Chains A and B, each alone.
Chain A
Amino acid sequence: MKTSFLGMPLLAILLATGCSGPKTTYVDPGSSRLVTTTEGINIQDFSQAADTMVNSLIDQLINPGALRSGAPNQPALLAISRIQNNTGQQLDTDLLVRKIRVALLRTGKVQTSTTIAFGGPEDPLAAEELANNQFFNDRPTRRPDYTLSGKIIEDRTRAGNVRQSAYIFQLALTDVRQGVAVWEDEKTIVKQGSRPTVGF
């Protein structure tokens, strides 16, 4: 009898901690259950910015047929130029650029060069092989038709308890034959909160 009296509170504690204890779950990266903070750029912010940019590129350049390719019957060739991070946080700009590249590749209208890029080739081995191929076969390399450049800017304000962070994503597509930006867009993501929150 005594043992059952002792066992009851122990069982209750075990159940209570079991239910409310720390739990880790997988979350769909496209869902609205992701952690949102005002402290920095969250992954869903990059996805949102990339989605807006791709939609804008399709609407303004690809859909009207304004995208030109240097090689006949081939998709336009894009090279990634400087994407400047002007925020206070250290971030990999590929979180934005790669999403755009993948989405553009899926349109079938744009391909991205991995051998010509700002700061050196993304794939050094491919660049080396390409150089060898040119040297031995005397074949001209295809030059990019467009370059993608941009900037990520941060603006923070605070009024009383409310903290506001704004992240501005600016991108431009330059036609290298003319040196003119043929497409430009900006996406601003503003977040407000008094403390880190989950959700919206």
Chain B
Amino acid sequence: MNRALNRLAGSLAAAAWLTTGCGSTSVNTLEPAEPTAQRAMVSDHRVLADRSLASAVRVVGVNTATDAAGFLKVQLETYNPSRKRKLFTYRVEWFDAQGMVIHLPTATSIPMSLEARETKFITATAPTPQAKDFRFRFLEPVN
């Protein structure tokens, strides 16, 4: 009886490994040990309502830049520490100096995927020079 149970558990584990293994690949990366570019990192405030999404899509750092014309640029470094590919969507909201949201017809949820152990950058440019603040919203895809 015990042997039969062990066999069943073994075959279930193998099936699970096969099904997850088919769709997942891990990413190897390479970069200079001492990067030339200096990023202006900003401290962030996070509200984590979906723990599983937050653990699979980690925001490693946020940096910003403003060019001559005054358009704010934001860059998020995201990392998937898990062993599975992760699909998610993100959306950026922009706020003016008074904290009012700036509505745009191009505002949409952008789909993205991170392979296992992959790092990806998300960049966004403010729609107007009046945009002073931003908020990123991450969401699991709705199936």
Contact = CB atoms under 8 A, between A and B. Distances in A.
Classify the interface of chain B: helix, strand, loop or mixed.
loop
Contacts of A63: 67-69, 71, 73, 125
B4 to A, nearest CB: 35
B141 interface: yes
Interface of A: 29-33, 44, 47-48, 50-51, 54-55, 58-59, 62-65, 98-100, 102-103, 106-109, 197-200
B128 A106 contact: yes
B5 to A, nearest CB: 35
Interface in B93-143: 102, 104-111, 123-129, 139, 141-143
A65 B108 CA distance: 27
Contacts of A30: 91, 107-109
Interface residues of B, number: 28
Contacts of B89: 32, 200
Contacts of B124: 55
B105 A200 contact: no
A64 B68 contact: yes
A107 B143 CA distance: 35
B62 interface: no
Contact of B104 (A48, A98, A106): A106
Contacts of A33: 142
A47 B128 CA distance: 17
A91 B141 CA distance: 26
Classify the interface of chain A: helix, strand, loop or mixed.
helix
Interface of B: 67-69, 71, 73, 87, 89, 91, 102, 104-111, 123-129, 139, 141-143
Most buried by B among A30, A59, A99: A30
A50 B106 contact: yes
Given A32-B109, A108-B128, A102 B142 contact: no
Contacts of A29: 108
A24 B141 CA distance: 20
A42 to B, nearest CB: 11
A140 B63 CA distance: 47
